């Protein structure tokens, strides 16, 4: 942590942490009929891959830029929750099963705009989102842009003096 940034790659770069978190998240969703884990191409990929491994399902990566090598894709635009900028995301049609029951997995959630945009993109596939799981969520804003999610850790405060992180409250928000 420096300059009021949390460097999750310091934690999520550790294969033992990834394995442990993958087991925790997959245990929470093992009976929900998940048949695809979906994440956005950032630091959340390794975490999503770990979860998908334990659920024994494929992973679908939402790209910031459409890739010609992924074939036909659906693309959407959304306003990021933190930067208030228009962002673009694309998802290959080949990656989402016709009867998709998707689990959205990401490393970090501030306001939830990315998770909401992924859910809206999945709706274009007629996919059912069975849950959203994040490694870490901020305490503020309290009201997120997604109806419910599961987080392992909560960031209460970040400053030059340090970071205050605690286990996320046990109940799903």
Q: Which two tokens stand for residue 40?
A: 């956005």
Task: Specify the pLDDT at position 76.
Answer: 85
Q: Which two tokens stand for residue 6?
A: 């949390």
- What's the mean per-residue pLDDT of the chain? 86
Q: Which two tokens stand for residue 171?
A: 């109940």
- Asked if residue 7 has pLDDT above 50, the reply is yes
- DSSP letters spanning the chain: -BTTB--THHHHT-HHHHHHHHHHHHHHHTTTT--EEEEESSTHHHHHHHHHHHHT--EEEEBSS--GGG-SEEEEEEE-TTT--EEEEEEEGGGS-TT-EEEEEEEEESSSHHHHHHHHHHHTTT-EEEEEEEEEEESSSSS-SSS--EEEEEEEEEETTEEEEEEPPSS--
Give the chain's end-to-end CA distance (angstroms, integer).
Answer: 26
Q: Which two tokens stand for residue 59?
A: 């992973």
> For residue 162, what pLDDT band results from cuts at 50, 70 and 90?
low
Task: Specify the pLDDT at position 1.
Answer: 42
Task: Specify the pLDDT at position 123.
Answer: 95
pLDDT, tens digit (0-9, with 9 covering 90-100), for 66-125: 776 677 888 888 887 666 788 889 999 999 988 999 999 999 998 899 999 999 999 999
Task: Specify the pLDDT at position 71.
Answer: 76
């Amino acid at each position: 942590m420096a300059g009021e940034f949390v460097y999750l790659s310091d934690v999520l770069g550790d294969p033992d942490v990834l394995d442990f978190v993958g087991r925790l998240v997959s245990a929470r969703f093992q009976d929900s009929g998940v048949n695809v884990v979906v994440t956005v191409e950032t630091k959340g990929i390794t975490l999503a891959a770990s979860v998908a491994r334990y659920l024994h399902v494929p992973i679908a990566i939402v790209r910031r830029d459409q890739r010609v090598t992924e074939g036909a894709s659906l693309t959407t635009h959304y306003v990021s929750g933190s930067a208030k900028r228009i962002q673009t995301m694309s998802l290959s049609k080949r990656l989402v099963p016709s009867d998709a029951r998707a689990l959205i997995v990401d490393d970090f959630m501030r306001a939830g705009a990315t998770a909401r945009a992924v859910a809206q993109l999945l709706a274009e596939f007629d996919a059912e989102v069975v849950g959203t799981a994040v490694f870490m969520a901020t305490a503020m804003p309290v009201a997120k842009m997604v109806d419910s999610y599961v987080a392992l850790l909560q960031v209460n405060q970040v400053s030059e003096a340090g970071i205050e992180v605690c286990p996320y409250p046990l109940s799903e928000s």
